[in-house]
Amino acid sequence: MSQITSLYVYKVVAQASSGVDVRDLFEALDLDPAGPIDPGLSWRTLRVSSVADAAASRSSESWE
């Protein structure tokens, strides 16, 4: 199974539009939204994909 590091998670979630609350997305992966970033942490691709999808969804809603 593919693994994704916390560095990738921070980069993806950081792309959400400004003003969009994404704190719970970080917390869903047991990450502190303020960091520090530990690139040694990783998760299965599927788990991170759902977090990335949620961040993208919230960003697109802020444009409506």
For the chain, the domains span 3-63
pTM: 0.64
The radius of gyration of the chain's CA atoms, rounded to the nearest angstrom, is 11
Secondary structure class of 5 (helix, strand, coil): strand
User: At residue 9, does pLDDT exceed 70?
Assistant: yes
Cis peptide before 36 (omega within 30 of 0): yes
| pLDDT of 60 strictly over 70 | no
pLDDT higher for 34 or 43? 34
Percent of the chain whose pLDDT exceeds 70: 84
Please tell me the predicted confidence (pLDDT) of residue 17: 61
Element (H, E) at 48: helix 45-63
